[in-house]
Structure 1
Amino acid sequence: MSMWYGNSYSSYDMPASSEHRIGMRRGRPTYGDILDAATDAVRVFEARGTRVCAVGGLACKLEGNIRTPNDVDLLVLDTTSTQEQIKQILVNANSKFYLIPARDPSATYKVLWYRTTLGIRVKVDLLQPGIMSIPDFSPDLIQYKRYLTHRIPVAPFGLVLLLKLQAWEQHQQSSEYRYHTKHYTDAQDINRLLPLAITAGITCDYLPSDFRREARRRIRSYVQSHPSSKEHWDKIKLRRSTETSTRAQGVTPSRTRTSRDPAHTTAAPRVDRSETSLNALTDGLSRLRIHQDRLRELDSTRTRAIRETANRVSSPHILRTPSF
């Protein structure tokens, strides 16, 4: 007869979901736990010849952010496998990784977790280029960051910053409270990363033009909410594709030549105005959808409250006449 001694589960056959719930009660993961999970995952993928790098909160921390991340976000540069397949790669290679069904009963995916030596649970998110508008880039741009005995590959700083900006916008526009409140933390991360990015002299020319265009739109929206960040964003150049291709050919645009050509002088501002108007319209529609979602949610809450009140009022009450 097998016995279960305290925290040891080696000789006790327990369902994964029950073991997971018990492990979650052991407390939040430390930065060391986060790094252990990332290191073990990177080791598995690199042994297979697959490049992987940190993004999200872990990458921000390794770039100098103060906040300790809550989980591990890894970008796997594998576009041939599905997300569920790359999750299964970790589970098959290392028993510390395991899968738990998603909260949504209708979801077809599973959530990847990591079990530390002390039983602490660390959530691991595996991302791929093309998912959530994440662009592809050359693996040669990945840089390794050291922390004590850990050596973690990190995505290019410019991409880390702009993905954090994208997360800020998505969380801000979310109608779900648990996601919407995360945009405050995103903003704190961005404001701490901006001076570091300027000092590092980041460039974003390697990113696709459509991703840079969306980044410029998000920056304008971010500056409206955080005006003090404008001076930092102004120092981070996100050149348009035409300017990038001109510099790549070794040709420097001449202000004198542009001023002498009336066609160029009048056309350029017109394009800028059109792009600005389109971005303003897109921002306005996004805000309108957010307000509509919140109004529907409030109306649904009000309707439920009215029904519950009506049910309580209409419920039969049997009054008994006391006998004397």
Structure 2
Amino acid sequence: MARPPTLEEIYDVAHRAVSIFNSNEYECCLFGSAGCVLYGTTRCPNDVDLVVFADNVDAEDLKTLLVEEDEDFYLVSSRNRRATYEVLWCSLTPGRRGTARACKVDILLPGCLNIPDVPSAQIKKMQHLPVMPLLPLLLLKLQGWTDHRDSDRRDMQEKQYVDVQDIDELLEITCDRRTYIGSRSLQWVPEDFIDDARERVLEYVEEFPASMLYWEALGFQTA
């Protein structure tokens, strides 16, 4: 089995993708585990998740843009025969596409997976990388936990355990920064996104009661 990407390699791939999007006047930000680690979680991500804020373009066009502008990005067919998309990778051996060591890169648009459209002024900069604001990032991680837990696929179900590690660490970090759902800086977040999160918080607390006080500190009801 090939050695997974190091954190330094994750950052490098993210920087290269962000630079290409920015040079083409597309704003973007990291989310997922790569976003979490920028805030201080300890688990090294396995891939790069980027949401790109662009009109009149789809995710496949954005993937193609990266492939055309950087020789280390490449596309492979999905293992799902019914898939209408290709999977984007970045070689970790410069100039050798398709080598054993590579980093997967997921490119999404707002609305996909309920990802909110983040105002430019709310995107944070950490390690010279744009990252989703802390509380929405946590709530998307929570969504990932329920999606993985409820999946019919065993490989997806296995991901719920690392989700819990990320959530618990990010939950504590979010509380330390005194962020809460009623904050004026979060008025842009869609109400249905918060409503869905409220239901997931109840499920999480039921399974992990020790998290209750943290969620309450963020403004969520836990009973």
TM-score by length of 1: 0.63
Please identify runs of 4+ aligned residues in structure 1 that moved more than 6 A.
Answer: none
Residue matched to 2:21: 45
Match of 2:217, SS state, is coil
Among residues 123, 128, 132, which one is paired with 2:113 in the alignment?
132
RMSD (Å) for aligned C-alpha atoms: 1.6
Residue matched to 1:142: 123
Residue matched to 1:264: none
Contact 1:205–1:238 (Cα < 8 Å) also in 2: no
Residue matched to 1:233: 215
Residue matched to 2:141: 164
Q: State the 1:58 CA deviation.
A: 0.3
| Alignment of 1:69 onto 2:51 | no
Q: State the 1:26 CA deviation.
A: 4.2
The runs of 5 or more residues in structure 2 that have no matched partner are: none
Contact 1:53–1:142 (Cα < 8 Å) also in 2: yes
Alpha-carbon separation, structure 2, partners of 1:138 and 1:106:
34
Alpha-carbon separation, structure 2, partners of 1:191 and 1:26:
29
Relative CO higher for 1 or 2, CA cutoff 8 Å, sep ≥ 6?
A: 2
Contact 1:79–1:128 (Cα < 8 Å) also in 2: no
Residue matched to 2:150: 173
Residue matched to 2:131: 154
The C-alpha deviation readout for 1:143-173, integer Å capped at 9, x for no partner, is 1111xxxx21101111110000000010111
Among residues 74, 89, 103, which one is paired with 1:113 in the alignment?
89
Residue matched to 1:250: none
TM-score by length of 2: 0.90
**How many residue pairs align between the two structures?**
212
Among residues 100, 122, 128, which one is paired with 2:76 in the alignment?
100
For the pair shown, which has the larger CA radius of gyration, 1 or 2? 1
Match of 2:62, SS state, is helix
| Alignment of 1:87 onto 2:63 | yes
Among residues 192, 200, 221, which one is paired with 2:177 in the alignment?
200
Q: State the 1:195 CA deviation.
A: 1.3
Match of 1:234, SS state, is helix
Letter in 2 for 1:225: E
| Alignment of 1:182 onto 2:182 | no
